[in-house]
């Protein structure tokens, strides 16, 4: 398990994973459906990247995100009788 507490740590972890899988930045970009520039910025730790695309890259690398230390949350579509907070 890798603990991520900054954009730079996330970028470093994803770069290591990409290299361990033997992928180039262009190959990963193609697999994730993002541009090569996005991969370069992500690996550099740019803090203002679009979360949707970050998640696509993580998925393309075979990873997943787990949130620890937060209350457990059930997705809206899994809640029975959810009233969306009203």
pLDDT tens digit sequence for 24-65: 999 999 999 999 999 999 999 999 999 999 999 999 999 999
Burial class of residue 19 (count of CB atoms within 10 Å of its CB; 0-12, 13-18, 19+): exposed
Residue 55 lies in a domain: yes
Residue 77 lies in a domain: no
pLDDT given at position 41: 98
What is this structure's pTM?
0.80
Residue 1 lies in a domain: no
- Could you give the number of structural domains in the chain? 1
Residue 43 lies in a domain: yes
Domain with 34, as residue range(s), is 7-60
What is the per-residue DSSP string for 48-81? T--HHHHHHHHHHTT------SS-----GGGSTT
Residue 32 lies in a domain: yes
pLDDT given at position 30: 98
pLDDT given at position 60: 98
């Amino acid at each position: 398990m890798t603990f991520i507490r900054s954009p730079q740590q996330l970028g470093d972890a994803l770069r290591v994973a990409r290299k361990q899988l033997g992928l180039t930045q262009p190959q990963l970009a193609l697999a994730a459906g993002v541009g090569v520039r996005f991969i370069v910025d992500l690996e550099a730790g740019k803090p203002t990247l679009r979360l949707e695309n970050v998640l696509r890259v993580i998925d393309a690398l075979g990873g997943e995100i787990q949130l620890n230390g937060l209350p457990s949350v059930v997705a809206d579509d899994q809640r029975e009788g959810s009233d969306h907070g009203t």
